[in-house]
Chains A and B, each alone.
Chain A
Amino acid sequence: MSCDELRNRLTKKNGEGLSGNLRQHLRGCSACRGFAERLEIARDLLRLHHADVKPDAGFAGRVTARLEEMGAAEALVWAAGRLLWATVALTLVLASFALRTGPQFAVEAEGVDYLEWILEDTEEAP
């Protein structure tokens, strides 16, 4: 068994027991023994790593307070978004109203019949 093969197997073994082949190689290879020792230490460190922090009595209150703050902020954003859309919609309505009715009112105000004007102009042309 090569060192590469052994180290691959050791890394994957999840701390399980060693087979005969692995033990035999380790007996004869100091570099792999060193690697195996460090791998075991690494596994211990990973296994024992823990912050050991417990929640205090006020934790649930802090969570709900945070949710309330978020709710207020999100409601504000939601309202601002709605206001923006309402403004855009109103602007479009007013603009379309102005475009449709503006020239018509102008024509009616002045009492000018543009069709008659065009026909008169056409008839007089040489």
Chain B
Amino acid sequence: MTLSWAMEMPLGATPHESEVSRLVAASRQGDSDAFARLVRLHQRRVFLLVGRFFRRPEDVEELAQETFVTAWRRLETYRGRAPFEHWLTRVCLRCCFHALRRRKREKLVALENEPIAPSANPDAVLEVERLLQELRPVDRFILLMLEGEGWSVAEIAEHLGWTRVNVKVRAHRARRKLRVLLERRVDR
């Protein structure tokens, strides 16, 4: 279950772009019913995005709500040059990033019954899981996109609206911290 899949997946009855444009225009005029329709059309995608970075269902709900509230407040910044989903993705990722910055620790948890390096020692898995909890949330945020999704620096920069230099610097720092954490056990 990747973010790339989330961003490409059809949303059941995929709305025509003109309908989305109409709903966006109506929402800008303060039509809350139109905005509620936009929420229903995009909520699954947003939950998938947020669920990548947050573990607890209440946190996912909170960040998903915050994404749409932020989208409502900043609707005038959507210029219609790209699909609305791309703009909403950027809003969502930025909300997740800012929320992670306010937190200290977030435990990584894998889906149940998903194989984690099947040949690996279970003790090693537990140990690495514990070490990853020591990552700062902002480092984990970048690593989840780099390693978890396999996105390139350019793709991350585009999705978040950051410069490539900014992403490169953050990626370098996050990878260095990951290496230090993993070496701590290996080299003792």
Chain A residues packing against B (C-beta within 8 Å): 7-8, 11-12, 14-15, 31, 34-35, 37-55, 59-64, 66-68, 70
The distance from the CB of B62 to the nearest CB of chain A, in whole angstroms, is 10
Contact indicator A52/B1 (Cβ below 8 Å): yes
A38-B131, A39-B178 given. 6 additional CB < 8 A pairs?
A: A45-B108, A45-B128, A46-B140, A50-B52, A50-B110, A52-B1
Top 9 closest pairs, chain A to chain B, by CB: A51-B51, A48-B110, A60-B39, A46-B148, A53-B60, A55-B43, A41-B128, A34-B186, A44-B116
Contact B129 A51 (CB under 8 A): no
CA distance A11 to B183 in the complex (A): 11
- Alpha-carbon separation in the docked complex, A54 to B68 (Å): 15
15 contacts between A and B (CB under 8 A): A11-B179, A12-B175, A35-B186, A38-B182, A38-B185, A46-B108, A46-B132, A46-B143, A49-B52, A51-B60, A53-B47, A53-B51, A55-B43, A59-B64, A64-B35
Is B8 located at the chain interface by the 8 A CB criterion?
A: no
Nearest A residue (CB) for B127: A38
Task: Give the contacting residue for B147; candidates A35, A38, A46, A63; CB below 8 A.
Answer: A46
Docked complex Cα distance between A61 and B36 (Å) = 7
Chain B 59-87, CB within 8 Å of chain A: the 1/0 string?
11100110011001000000000000000
Q: Which residue of A lies closest to B151 (CB)?
A: A14
Task: Give the residue among A14, A53, A61 with the most B Cβ atoms within 10 A.
Answer: A53
Chain A residue nearest to B146 in the complex (CB)? A14
